Structure 1
Amino acid sequence: MSEAKVEEEDMISALPEDLLVTILLLVPIKDAVATMVLSKRWRFIWMMLPRLEYKENGDGDDDFDDYYELDNSKCNDDDDDDDERNKSIWLFFDKSMELHKAPLLRILHIKLGPRCPSDVDVGKWVAKAVYRGVVVLKIKLCWSAGPARLPKSLYNCKTLVQLVLSHKILVDFPSSSCLPSLIILDLLFVVYKDEASLVRLLSSCPVLADLGVKRMKDDNAYIDVKSFPDTDKFTTSLSAVSSLQLGLTDEVLVRCSTINFSRLIKLTIYPDRSDWLEPFLLLLENAPKLKDLLVDDEYVIIRPKILPLSWKQPSSVPGCLSSQLEIFEWRAYGRREVEEELLTYILANSMCLKTATISLKPTFGLEEQELIKKVLRASSRPLHVCIVGSGPAGFYTADKLLKTHEGARARVDIIDRLPTPFGLVRSGVAPDHPETKIAINQFSRVAQLKRCSFYGNVKLGSDLSLSELRDLYDVVVLAYGAESDKELGIPGERLSGIHSAREFVWWYNGHPDYSSLKPDLKRVILEFEDISCSMVLKAIGYKSVPINDLPFDHKKGIVPNVRGRVVSQTSGGIPQTEPGLYVCGWLKRGPVGIIATNLYCAEETVASISEDIEEGACESAKAGSKGLLQLLEERNVKKVDFSEWEKIDAKEKQMGSESNKPREKLVTWEDLLGEATN
C-alpha cells in the first residue's frame, strides 16, 4: 500500500505583514535577517523592523546590563577558541543598516567591542536613526580605537526620549542644540570635548527627569565635575530631575551636594574611591521629596584598607528621611564600621519606610551572614511603642526606650486621660515642695523629641480598649499609676464629708477631677473618741484601678508581672506572659518609693522589652501613631498634644505672674480644654 503524499501549508507566511514584523521582533536580529532566504514573501519583512539591537558575539548581557560596570572587563572579551565568535558584528551591522528600509526606527542599540575595525563610521548610522525618528538610542563602544564623535544631528533630535552613551564616545554638544523630548540620559565613562560640553547638554534638555553619570576618576581623558563652571543653567538642569544615578567620586558628590534637588524622587549612588558619607548626607538634605534610595556597592572597585571613611551625624535629620523615604536598598553591603553607623542612622530615622533591602557581599561566611542579617532585621524593623500614663514612670520608660532602641527606629506615643502631662509631679506634689517639680523639665525634653508624642485627653477603657491599643502597637506599657484608694473596711467610711488624702492632695494641686471639692478646712486630731467635724480625711494609701482585658491582683492592687512583663496566668507554676504587654511604676510594684524609684523600675521594664525584641517578639507590622490618630479622629476624641499643653502652661504662668506666683493653675476640664484649643 503506497503512502499518501501530505502537502504542508505555509500558514505563517499568509499572516499580515505587521504581524510578521511583530514576530521577528521576538528573535535576535541575526535570526530575523536570516529569514530573508525563506521565500520572496519573507525577503523584505525584517527590513521593516522598528527596533534593531546589535552587540558583539561573546558578550554575556542581553540588554546592555553592564553599562554600569566600573571597569572595562566586559569591553575586552576574547575567546580565541572560536574564530566565528571572534568576528566583529560590525560587517553585519553595517550591511543590514544599509538595507534597512523602515520609515520609522524607534529603538537602536549598538554595542561594539575590541574586535571591531578601528576605521568604521558609526556616526552615519546614528544619523540615519535620527532621520528615521529614533526614540531610544543606546551606544556602547569598547573598541581599541579612540573616542568616536557622533553627528551633530543627534543633539537636535526632536523624537529622542532616552539616550545612553557609554565608553569610547566623544561628547561634543553644540551650543545651539536642544533635545526637547529627552527624559532619560545616561553618560557612562564618556569623553567630553571641553569643560562646557556637559553643561550645554544638560541645560538643553528641558524635560530631563532621569540622569545617570559615571566617570573614571583616574583616567586623564575624563573631566572631573569639579572643573565644570558653576553656571545657573547647569544647576537648574540638575535640580529639575526626578531620578538620578551617580557614580561617586569625591568631586562628583561634593559638586552635587550643593544643588537643591527639589523634584528628586529616586536616587541611585555607586560609591567609588571616595570619602562619600558626609557629602552624601548633604545631598539627602537637599532632596526633600526623595522616596526611593539605592546604594549600590556591587560593582565598586575594592577600596584600599587605608582609605578612611568618616562622617559626623548631622544635628538635624534630613527631611526626606523623616517624612518621605519609602524604599531603601543597599547592595553588597560591606559592614565597615562607619557604613554600619550610616545604615543604622538611615533605618532609625526613616519614619515612612515601607521596604528595606540589604544584600551582603559574597565574601562573608555563612555564620557571619546570619549574624549580620539578625542585626539588620532588628535595626530595620519599626518599633511602635505606646505608654499609657504620663507620670514619672511613663516618661522614664519613654526616655530609656528611645535611648536603647534608637537603631530600631523606635517611636513612642504617651497617652494620658488628663489633658495635662506629668502625673503626680503636677498634681500630687505639695505646693511647698517646688524643687521636686524640676523633673518636669527633664520630661519636657523627652516629649519634645521627634520620635516621641504626647496625646492627652485620651481615656483607655472608654475612648479605646486595651485590645485595640495592642493591635496598633508592638509594645504597650501600662504606667497609669494609682487613681483610687485603699479602704479601712469600717462602717461609714463612704459617708459624705469623708475623703481620702489622695483626693485632698489632688484638690489643692488643682486636679480637674476635684475642682468642686471645696472642703471646710479644719485641723482634726482623731483620738478614739467622737468628734464633731465637717470633714474627715483618710490617709491609708493609694490603689491602682483595673481595666478590661488586663490581669489584676485585687488584693495587692497591682498587675501581676515578672520584671515588668504582664503575667496572664500560670501553668504548672510557670508564669505565662502577655506578648508585647508590660507594666511600670505603681501599677507594677504598688504605691511605694519616691520619684527616682520609677527610674530604676523603668530600666527593668525596658530591659525586659529589649530582651523580648531580641528574641523576635515584635515581628509583625503595626500601624502605630498613624492608626491611633485615625481611630481617635473616627471617634471624635479631641486629643491634646504637647504643643497644646504648652498653651495651657503659658496661660497658667501668665496668670501666676499677675498674682506674683510661679503659676496659677486652670483647674476645670472646661478651662483646660478651652485653652488647649484656643
Structure 2
Amino acid sequence: MRHIAIIGSGPAGYYTAEAAQKRFGPEVQVDIIDRLPVPFGLIRFGVAPDHQSIKAVSDRYEKVALSDNVRFVGNVAVGSDVGVDELQQHYDAVVLATGAPNDRKLEIPGGDLPGVLGSAAFVGWYNGHPDFADLKPTLEGRHVVIIGNGNVALDVARILAKTRSEFVGSDIVSHALDALDSAATEEITILGRRGPHQIAMTPKELGELGHLARATVRVDKDDLPDPGEDVLLEPGIRKSVTHLREFAAIPEAFRADKSISINFDFFAAPVAVEGDGQVERIRIERTRLDDQLRSMATGETYELDCSLIISCIGYQTPPIDGVPYEHGRGRFANVEGRILPGLYCVGWARRGPSGTIGTNRPDGANIVELIAEDWAAGLGTADKLGRVGLDGLLQSRGINAVQFSDWKKIEEAEIARARDGAPREKFVRIDDMIAAQK
C-alpha cells in the first residue's frame, strides 16, 4: 500500500486525489489535510457568493472524499500542528496544494494605510473566511477605488454595487450583507495600468455589470482603440472589449436613475495613497503603452478622493518552514511540480495564481504521473505508516482532526440556519464549526 498526503482541500487538492485514485486504484490511500475544519478552499472562500453554479463543482470533490481510500483531515495546520518533514516520514508522497491565499502587497507609499485592503481579505470577509470575520471595511464613504483589471476586480465591484434583493440565492454571509446594504457607496472606480485590449476579464463576468439594478458602467470612449483593431484579439477578450464599447455607448438619459456609477479608468497606475491616519485619496499617474504593450509612465498625475481602496493585483502562496520558496513569484520552488524527493506541489502553489478552477484538473493528473515515475524509479519504500502514523502524531499532541462526516454535520447546521432565499449561512468562527459537528 502506498500513502499520499495532500496539503490543501481546494480544487488542486481534490483533483490530485481523484487522479491518484484513477492511477493507482485501491493500492493507494490519500489523506487531504487542511488547517480549517471545512473543505473545498477556493470554492468555499474565493468564488463569488452569487456564482452558485461554479460552486457546484464541490459535488464532484465530495464523491472523491466519500470513497474508501480518500480521507479529509481538517483542523490540522501543516507547519505548526505537524511538520512537512514529519509527513514525509509517514507518506510516500507529500503534495502541497495550499493555493495562493495571501494578498500580494500594494507596494506604493501609503499602501499600508487603514482603508487599503487586499482582495483576498475583502473576498474572504464577504465569503465567511474565519481569518477575516472581524474585518471592518470602510464603507461609510461615497467612493471606492479598485486596483486591477481581472475577474477578481469585477467580482469586488459587482458585490459592492448589488442591492440586497440581488443577493437572493447567494451564500454571502449575513454580516457582510448587512454592512453592504447600509454602505454609502455611490462611485466605484476600477484602475488599470494598461488599456482595454490588455484586460484579463472574461466576457460573462464583465457582462454581468451591465445588468445591475442600481449601477451604471462608464467607459471613456477615448480610451477605446479603433474598432478595427479588435479583430486581432483572442475571441474571449474581443467579446469583453465589445462589452466595454457597449458601456461607453450608454446614453446619459439611461444613467439618470442609477445611484451607483462603476467607472473604468484605463491607462492609470496608482503611485501613492494619502491620508491622515486613514485613506483619504489616491494619487494616480497616466500611462501609455510602448511597442511591447508595456505600461510606461507619462509624468501626468491626478488624484481621486476615496475612503476605501481594494487591491486586486494578485496572490501569493504562504511559505512553509523547510520548503524551498520563490519569493519573487510567490510560490514554492519547483521543477514541473517536484520540490524535493517525495515532495511535490500542484495548482497555484506550483505555478502561481494563474488559470481557472478547471486548470487544476490536468495539473493534478500531471503531478500524479510524476509520483508514479518516481515510485517506479525506486523512490520510497512502500512500507510507511500513512494515516496511522499521522493519527498517532495528532493524538500525541491533543489535536482533534475533523473528518468528512464531521464536515457534513457542519454543512447540515449551516443549511438549517440559512436566511430566506440563501442556500446556507456559513459559520465564520472555527469554534462554532467544531461545536456544530458534535
Q: Which residue of 2 aligns with 1:400?
A: 19
In structure 1, the partner of 2:95 is: 477
Matched, 1:606 2:224: no
Mapped pair 1:646 → 2:415: no
Q: Which residue of 541, 560, 572 maps to 2:333?
A: 560
Distance 1:615 1:497 in 2: 54
Output the CA distance in 1 between the equivalents of 2:93 and 2:420: 45
Q: Quick one: which amino acid aligns to residue 435 of structure 1?
A: S
Bigger RCO of structures 1 and 2 (CA < 8 A, at least 6 apart): 2
* Distance across 2 between alignment mates of 1:514 and 1:562: 33
**Any idea what the Cα deviations from partners look like across 1:35-84, whole Å, max 9, x if unmatched?**
xxxxxxxxxxxxxxxxxxxxxxxxxxxxxxxxxxxxxxxxxxxxxxxxxx
Rounded to whole Å, the distance in 2 between the matches of 1:412 and 1:456 is 14
Pair member with larger Rg: 1
Aligned to 2:207: none
Aligned to 2:2: 383
User: AA paired with 1:396?
Assistant: Y
The answer on 1:433 being equivalent to 2:195 is no
Aligned with 2:63 (options 423, 435, 445): 445
Aligned identity (percent) is: 44
3-state SS of 1:591 partner: coil
CA distance in 2, matches of 1:673, 1:427: 18
Letter in 2 for 1:398: A
1:539 counterpart letter in structure 2: C
CA distances 1:381-437 after superposition (whole Å, capped 9, x unpaired):
x10110000000000000000111115x10000000111100101110011211101
Distance 1:619 1:661 in 2: 49
Q: Distance in 2 between matches of 1:495 and 1:520?
A: 12
Quote the Cα distance in structure 2 between the aligned partners of 1:413 and 1:518. Answer: 36
Deviation at 1:531, TM superposition (A): 4.0
Structure-1 residue corresponding to 2:392: 630
SS at 1:630 equivalent: helix
Task: Please say if 1:551 is aligned against 2:312.
Answer: no
Aligned residues: 283
**1:579, 1:592 → 2: CA distance?**
25
Q: Which residue in 2 is equivalent to 1:238?
A: none
Measured after TM superposition, the shift of residue 558 of structure 1 is 1.6
Gaps of 5+ in 1: 1-381, 567-577
Secondary structure of the 2:331 match is: coil
Residue of structure 1 in register with 2:426 after alignment: 665
Specify the SS of the correspondent of 1:593. Answer: coil
Question: Helix, strand or coil for the counterpart of 1:562?
Answer: coil
- The one-letter amino acid paired with 1:455 is V
Match runs of 1:211-222 below 5 Å: none
Deviation at 1:479, TM superposition (A): 0.4
Determine the structure 2 residue equivalent to 1:275.
none
Q: 1: distance between equivalents of 2:384 and 2:428? A: 37
1:597 corresponds to 2:359: yes
> How many Å separate the matches in 2 of 1:436 and 1:479?
20
Once residues 35 and 110 of structure 2 are traced to their aligned partners in structure 1, the CA distance between those partners, rounded to angstroms, is 31
After superposition, residues 144-163 of structure 1 pair within 5 angstroms as: none
Answering whether residue 295 of structure 2 is matched by residue 534 of structure 1, we say no
| Displacement after TM superposition at 1:530 (Å) | 3.9
Inter-partner Cα distance in structure 2 for 1:633 and 1:437: 34
Give 1:242-261 correspondences, 5 Å limit: none
Measured in 1, the distance between the counterparts of 2:430 and 2:110 equals 30
Cα deviation 1:566-590 (Å, max 9, x = unaligned): 1xxxxxxxxxxx2111110001001
Distance 1:445 1:439 in 2: 11
Query: Which structure dedicates a bigger proportion of its chain to helix?
Result: 2
Question: 1:17 — aligned with what?
Answer: none
Does the 8 Å CA contact 2:5/2:30 hold for their aligned counterparts? yes
Given the alignment of the two structures, is residue 495 of structure 1 paired with residue 113 of structure 2, yes or no? yes
Q: Distance in 2 between matches of 1:417 and 1:499?
A: 23
CA–CA separation in structure 2 for the residues paired with 1:423 and 1:507: 14
What is the alpha-carbon root mean square deviation over aligned residues?
1.5
Q: Which residue of 1 aligns with 2:201?
A: none
C-alpha distance in 2 between matches for 1:436 and 1:553: 31
**Structure 1 residue 664 displacement after superposition:** 1.2
- What amino acid is aligned across from residue 16 of structure 2 in structure 1? T
Quick check: 1:584 aligned with 2:346?
A: yes
Query: 2:218 aligned with 1:457, yes or no?
Result: no
Paired residue type of 1:651? A
Residue identity in the other structure for 1:548: D
1:560, distance to aligned residue in structure 2 (A): 2.2
Given the alignment, which residue of 7, 32, 48 partners 1:414? 32
Provide the secondary structure at the position in 2 that maps to 1:491.
Answer: coil
Contact 2:105 2:118 in 1 (8 A): no
1:532 CA displacement: 4.0
Superposition TM-score, scaled by structure 2 size: 0.63
What are the residue-to-residue correspondences of 1:160-239 with 2, within 5 Å? none
In the TM superposition, what whole-angstrom CA distance separates every residue of 1:311-357 from its partner, at most 9, and x where no partner exists?
A: xxxxxxxxxxxxxxxxxxxxxxxxxxxxxxxxxxxxxxxxxxxxxxx
Structure 1: which amino acid aligns with 2:38? T
Q: Is the contact made by 2:2 and 2:382 (CA closer than 8 Å) also made in structure 1?
A: no
Deviations 1:205-261 (A, max 9, x none): xxxxxxxxxxxxxxxxxxxxxxxxxxxxxxxxxxxxxxxxxxxxxxxxxxxxxxxxx
Cα deviation digits, residues 256-291 of structure 1 (max 9, x gap): xxxxxxxxxxxxxxxxxxxxxxxxxxxxxxxxxxxx
What's 1:616 paired with?
378
Deviation at 1:488, TM superposition (A): 3.2
Q: Deviations over 1:463-499 (max 9, x none)?
A: 0111111111111000001121212321221122211
Measure how far apart 1:620 and its partner are. 5.0
Distance 2:112 2:400 in 1: 34
2: CA distance, partners of 1:625 / 1:501: 36
Structure-2 change in CA distance of 1:673 and 1:532 (3 Å): farther
CA drift at 1:541:
0.5
The whole-number CA distance in structure 1 between the counterparts of 2:380 and 2:23 is 16
Instruction: Write the distance in 1 (CA, Å) between the matches of 2:51 and 2:430.
Output: 25
Q: Name the SS of the counterpart of 2:393 in structure 1.
A: helix
Equivalent residue for 2:243?
none
Unaligned runs of 5+ in 2: 140-184, 192-264, 266-283, 285-301
- Could you tell me how far 1:606 is from its partner in structure 2? 0.8
Classify 1:534/1:668 alpha carbon distance in 2 versus 1 (closer, same or farther; 3 Å): farther
In structure 1, how many angstroms separate the alpha carbons of the residues matched to 2:128 and 2:412?
A: 16
